[in-house]
Amino acid sequence: METTTEVANLFTPIEVGPLSLRNRMAMAPMTRSRAMLDGTPTAMMADYYAQRAGAGLIVSEGVNISAEAQGFIHVPGIFTDAHTSAWRKVTERVHAQNCAFVMQLWHTGRIGHPDNMGGGLHPVAPSALAHDRTVVTPSGLQPAPVPREMTDQDIRRTIDDYAQASRRAIAAGCDGVEIHAANGYLPGQFLHESTNLREDAWGGDLERRARFLIESARACAEAVGSQRVAVRITPFSVFNGARSEDDSAVYRYLVPALGELGLLYLHVVTAEVAGNQTVVRTDGDDVRDVVGFTRALWPGTLMAAGGYDRRKADEEIRTGRADMVAFGRDFIGNPDLPERLAKGHPLTERRPADWYGAAETGYTDYPSFDPRQ
């Protein structure tokens, strides 16, 4: 691919664990709600990911690790044989274009609704604290219910669910898994004081609050190998109501602890907004430089995400602040985003109304750049 010199660093190859990637661009995980109601990936999902396989690595949308993990409708799963078989069709298409594929493992915890789970299941969380957001269900928007507080047995079973999901992901042809520990979902609910009021082995002081995520990552590493496991975090985020009094202390403990596991990479998100919501704290130097803060704590490959343009991404690579940069929303309307960024082509205007839903419109119907138009 011909590349302008101003983004040459972004398009240099990189070795990430056992993976040889042709460039340092990743496609960030994004919920698109195109799976079947039972969580089985669809044929158009394979088309969607294959269209965007010019990245060095694709991180899938969040994938439910169990029926109990489901928070939203039309989100894919990885807990049945049908799920595994359908994902294999996705990974085969992506690998055919020399792109690596990592599956993001998701448990929404309290951010869910029984109507999206079936089988008499109910959302679970470290503590019985409801969130104030509404949840999309088959019958429309409904308030999030009070979750059931998890027992010790529930917690250990959920950690095993992460391990089993990682095994299925590798069986489906994925190159690795990424634990979704960002944005206030279940791992973040354990991690933070506002959502974890426990005083047992899974709550109270920082070490015990971090235990669930660390044990989940360790279980996945033992199941499939540490160089097939990654974690995504959002330091200083207050999205979904998960926060602590001293977030710097939280991540100064967590990041090195994860580093001891020898993981494939750490994925840090610097996003300041989600929709119209401000989702990060505004106090403190660490908040103002999340990538620099994390880089100083993380010994391995660091992937950064959060509103990057081509020049800023290249600068992060050039200076060594990040080893890879993930792009999210720009990949939605620009399936050939790596080519566009490499050559400085304009990007397609965003169409948020089509981001979620069951149709191909706004999903697989975006064209590649045509210089004649």
Catalytic residues: 185
* CB < 8 Å & 24+ apart, contacts of 341-349: 341/7, 341/10, 341/25, 341/310, 341/313, 342/1, 342/2, 342/3, 342/4, 342/7, 342/10, 342/11, 343/2, 343/3, 343/4, 344/4, 344/6, 344/310, 345/369, 345/371
Query: Nearest to residue 177, comparing CAs of 216, 210, 215?
Result: 216
CA atoms in the 13 A half-sphere facing the CB of 340? 19
Q: Phi then psi for 136, rounded to 5 degrees?
A: -75, 125
How do strand 124-125 and strand 148-149 relate by DSSP bridges? parallel
Instruction: Give the integer Cα–Cα distance in Å for 126 and 151.
Output: 8
Instruction: Give the integer Cα–Cα distance in Å for 70 and 280.
Output: 25
